[in-house]
Every structure is written in C-alpha cells, then in structure tokens.
Structure 1
Amino acid sequence: MILFGTNPIAWSNDDDQTIGAHLSLDDCLSDCRKIGFDGIEKGHKMPNDGAELKAKLGEYGLKFVGGWHSTNLLTNDVETELAAMQGFIDMLKAAGSKTLIAAECSNTIHGSEGIGILDRPEMKGDEWARFTKGLTTLAEEAARQGIELCYHHHMGTVIQTEGEIDRLMAETGKAVNLLLDTGHCYFGGGDPAALAARHMGRVRHIHCKNVRAEVMEKVISENMSFLDGVRGGVFTVPGDSEGAVDFPPVLSEAARAGYQGWLVIEAEQDSLIRDPLRYQSMGYTALKQMAASAGLS
C-alpha cells in the first residue's frame, strides 16, 4: 500500500535551525493531523528515544516514517560506522520504522554557510571503492536486522548528479536501496523520471520535492550556498504552480514497478514566509491525486 508522509523541515529546518524556531513540535504535528498525513520523518525537535518518539507521534495518529543518518565512510573505518549506525537502528526499531535514510556527510557542504553549491566535494581515485564497499557493508548489516538502508542523493554531497547515482547503484550490493528525491535530482541537473525508469527496482523510499527553477538558476549562476537557496525558496511542494518538477512520469514508473511504501513531501521553505499548513495541504492534495491517476494506491 501507499502511505503519504511529510518531513518536519517544512516547519522547522534541521540545517538552519533559526528557520521555524518560532514553531513547536506540537504546531507541526497538529498541522499534520489536520492535513491527513499518515506519518512523518524525524526532525530535531522530536524525542531521540525511539519509544518516546513513537508515543509522541501516536498522540496525533501519526506513524514514524524513518530518519536521516549521516555516514562518514570517507573518514572513518567501517567498524566505527557500524557502531554509529547501531544506535540509530535501535531507535528506528523502538519507534516502529524500518527506513534508515543514509547520506555521506564526511565532507558535505549542504549545511555550510558561505560555501557555494558549485564547490561541493567529489570522490576521486580509490574513494569510490572505499565508499561503495563500506556502504554495502552497512546496508547488509541493517538488512540483517530488518532495516532498509535507503541512500539519499543530495545537493552539496558526493552523490548529487545522475551519473553519480548511476555509479552508486552499479558499484554497491543489492542491500543498498535508493531514496529517489525528485527535487535533488532536478536541482542536480538530472531527470527524475529517467532516474526512476533505471532504478525503480531498488527504490524503497520517495521524496516528492518540487523546485522553483528561477531560484535554482540564480543559486547556480551566483554559486550561492545550499542554505541560501533554501532561504531563497528554491524548494516547494507538489502542486505549486511555481514548481518545475514533473511528478506524474515518476509516479507512473513507480506504479509500473509495483512500488509500495511512503511518498513523502520533503520540501523545506522558510515557514515565516510560506505557511506550512497551507503549502503542505497543497502538496498532500496534489500528490494524492497524481498518485491515484498513476495507479498508486
């Protein structure tokens, strides 16, 4: 079955915590209940204890979708990374989720002020082999414990472009699943539908993020930081007429592949400028309609 989720970064941002500082966790969760979401991903205002998190979300009739786990495979040994991941796995299990969203953050710039988006890191030489081998090891251990590691390609990181995503899929074992993020794919110069057509067999999680192309082009042409792009409104929700991402072809590829699981509206905006209740309601309504038309139910 298809479940519809969201991410609290639409209310309170994790990378720039001044965005949404005026909103409480209860503000966020009450909005989610009003809109009708089935669940929500992890945010910095939520309890870090899994049992407490499950109970808190349960007060609002929400499931825990899963959460972001930063890997540091290019700087740490695999044993260190396995130990770091174990604590996160324990939290996921206690909170009732099996989705671990992984992204390599040893040298990421997506949370850095003053570093342009064009100056992001790229792997060279034997770094690729080190990374893909280590990620496969982590994913296999997670799978052994009933957890799906879903890799999140992301602006400002070593896995950003379509070519890098393709290589990641080619050089990792089958235990490494893909989180398909429509917005990060588009922002990185890719075609989300083409990416879905090639890799939907290994996609276990989908972020439905929209992009304002005019803002994106400004961020790239002026080599602004990722955070400046977020503050400038580069991202928005499905159904927003200002957005450029074409969702129906992606959802049709998902339906053809028999995708089951979460469709998550992960669209960070400045919540003082763009009201989360309004925008997330817009995204939820549009996404449900598009998913139904594509045959996802």
Structure 2
Amino acid sequence: MRVTSVANAPVSFGVFELSDGPPPLTADEMVRAIADAGYAGIDLGPVGYLGTGDALVERLDGLLLAGGWADLPYHDPGAFRERLPTLDATLDVFAAAPAAPEHLAPRPTLGCSGSPARFARPGGNAPGLEAGEWAGYAARVQEAADRCRERGFEPAFHHHLGTYVETPDEVERLLELTDVPLCLDTGHLLVAGGDPVTALRDWASRIGHVHIKDGDRSILAQALADGVDLRELMGRGGFASLGEGELDLPGVVRALDEIGYQGWVIVEQDTLPGRRSVEQNIADQVANREKLRELGL
C-alpha cells in the first residue's frame, strides 16, 4: 500500500544553490505559495533561505520539511574532507525541523558536486568515472550516509545530470557499492536515457525518496547541438511542467502503488531565476499539484 505526501521545492521557483543574486521571491512568499497550492511539505533549498531553528518552524507554519540538498565532491578526497562541515550544517537545520511521522522525516539528499565535462554536456555521454575510481567514490558516499545516520537521519543519494552518477548504469553501480537509499528523480533519469517507471520497479527495495519531474529530451538535444550547459538547459525549459514533457506520469503513480512506496514525493520543475515570472511559476506548481491529485496522489 502506498503511503505518500506531496511536497514542492524552491528550485521550482528558481531558488537553488547555484543561483546568483537575490531570490525571485522571499521565503515567506515561497512557503505561502506552496501551502496555498495544496502541498504538505517543502524542500529546504539553500541552507538559511527558509531560516534555521525556531525561525524555520515558525516560517513553515504547518508545512513539513521534506528534505534538503547536501552537495559534496565525492570524486575528490581532499575536497570531500574540506566540505563535510557543510553536510553537518544541513543536518543541524534538519534537527530543528517540525516533528513528523517516521516515513515523512526530512531526508538529507546527498548530491554530487558534479563533473565539469558533464555539466557542460548534460546527458550527452561525456566521460564519467574511470573503473578504478568507483571504489573510492562509493566509499565517500557511504561515509556521508553513515554521518547522516549518526545524527538520526536516513539519507538518499540523488543521481543527477552533469555529475558522475548520471546514467542508469551508474546508478546501478552506486547501489551495488553502497547501502545508501536512492532519491529517484524521474526527470533527471529520463533525460539521461532511463525509464523512470521501470526504475521504480527494478530499484523498489532501494528507493527512499522520490522527485517527480518531467523532462523533454528534444530540448536536451537542441541544447547539446547549441553547446550550452546544464544551467541553460534548465533555463530553456528542459524540465517541463507535469504532463508537458515525455514522462509517463500515470505510469509513475501506478508504479508507486505497485511497490508500496512510503515517503515523500517532491514535485520539482527546475528553472533559472528570471526566465519565467513568479506568477507563472506559482501557476505551474498549482497545476502540477492538481495533475497528481487527479491521478490519486
């Protein structure tokens, strides 16, 4: 039996770690828009954006914290060690989040700082890790996951375009080498050549978090032809509103039912600030919530 709650994320409004300049809307405006659209939770976004401690709880005003991105350079041993305190800072924020049922506790979303070649050519089969690099990479992912568990949080690793774990085969390899649950992102997997519905079934025992995102591979193909990077792919609408891309959304919801998924489903529509109006972003997230509601989610 599926037991889920639906959240949204600041990245749907162009608020994320790689953004420059002030956010397109304040944290209070963000929370109000997501709550008014009918979502039960929100992702953290950049640490500090939603506040910390009591200020975070007060700001969320009934919304639950679904998760939050913790970016680490697993491919670089020295940089990984230097950046570990940023993971601790994220976990400190989680520790102050509103209390939630166990299956809806916030998930540290372990992301990779990425591959310069793949960031410049997302989904374009740029070289990934060498065979001899996988053991060290996976060991550092495992270390980060264990660090989360020591603080009482179960993490999930997020495969992502522009990083060293981008393709379905790379996801498989990471799952083989670690015991870390997977944050399955339907849009990133789709654009990287995977089938999200099949992935939900095949990796069911390892899925701990789900990001529902639509994707458009025709926009990716044009972006690659034009030589633009991952940021510009997002700006061009490579991640569409639900139902406007190639994602089999009804199939995804059916698969969640079939595997008895329990946890958060976070709607994301990655975009860059300034590419669409705040009003359009809000309207899209209202429509996205309604599409899922129509499918029983």
| Other structure's SS at 1:10 match | helix
> 2:104 aligned with 1:92, yes or no?
no
Matches within 5 A, 1:227-242: 227-239=231-243, 242=244
> Could you report, residue by residue, the CA deviation over 1:198-246 in whole angstroms, capped at 9, with x for unpaired residues?
112111111110113331221233332111111111112223xx31110
Q: CA deviation at 1:18?
A: 5.4
Give the match's secondary structure for 2:131: coil
Q: Report SS of the residue matched to 1:65.
A: strand
Residue pair 1:208, 1:237 contacting (<8 A) in 2 also = no
Alignment correspondent of 1:188:
192
Offset at 1:135? 1.3
Following the alignment from structure 2 to structure 1, what is the Cα–Cα distance between the partners of residues 81 and 220? Answer: 39
Structure 1 residue 46, shift from structure 2 partner: 1.7
Alpha-carbon distance between aligned partners in 1 of 2:142 and 2:219, rounded to the nearest angstrom: 36
1:51 is matched with which residue?
Answer: 54
Contact 2:25 2:278 in 1 (8 A): no
CA contact (8 A) 1:160 1:188 kept: yes
Partner AA of 1:99 in structure 2: R
Distance 2:22 2:294 in 1: 29
The residue identity in structure 2 corresponding to 1:102 is L
| 1:6 aligned partner | 8
Secondary structure of the 2:109 match is strand
123 and 50 in structure 1: CA distance in 2 versus 1, 3 angstrom threshold? farther
Relative to structure 1, the CA distance from residue 140 to residue 131 in structure 2 (aligned partners, 3 Å threshold; closer, same or farther) is same
Q: Could you report, residue by residue, the CA deviation over 1:67-120 in whole angstroms, capped at 9, with x for unpaired residues? A: 00011222235765654422322221112443100112164567x6xx333485
Structure 1's consecutive aligned runs of 4 or more residues displaced over 6 angstroms after TM superposition are none
TM-score, scaled to structure 2: 0.86
- 1:101–1:151 Cα contact (<8 Å) kept: yes
- Aligned AA (1:88): T
Summarize deviations over 1:43-65 as a string: whole Å, max 9, x none.
2372452432222112xx31111
Whether the aligned pair in 1 keeps the contact of 2:111 and 2:157 (CA below 8 Å) is yes
Unaligned runs of 5+ in 2: 99-104
Q: Percent same amino acid at aligned positions?
A: 24
Distance 1:50 1:68, change over 3 A: farther
Give the structure-1-normalised TM-score: 0.86
Letter in 2 for 1:149: P
Matches within 5 A, 1:1-297: 1-15=3-17, 17=19, 21-44=23-46, 46-58=49-61, 61-76=62-77, 80=82, 82-96=84-98, 97-105=105-113, 107=115, 115-117=120-122, 118=124, 122-173=128-179, 176-239=180-243, 242-269=244-271, 270-272=275-277, 275-290=280-295, 292=296
Within 2, Cα distance between the matches of 1:30 and 1:84?
A: 28
C-alpha RMSD of matched pairs (Å):
2.5
Given residue 72 of structure 2, which amino acid in structure 1 is its aligned partner? T
- CA–CA distance in structure 2, aligned partners of residues 181 and 205 of structure 1: 9
Letter in 1 for 2:255: E
**Larger relative contact order (CA 8 Å, sep ≥ 6):** 2
Change (3 A) 1:120 1:90: farther
CA distance in 2, matches of 1:153, 1:83: 22
Residue 68 of structure 1: SS of its match in structure 2? strand
Equivalent pair of 2:213/2:239 in contact (CA under 8 Å): yes
Answer yes or no: is the 8 Å Cα contact 2:13–2:24 preserved in 1.
no
How far off is 1:155 after superposition? 0.5
**Structure 2 Cα separation of the partners of residues 177 and 253 of structure 1:** 18
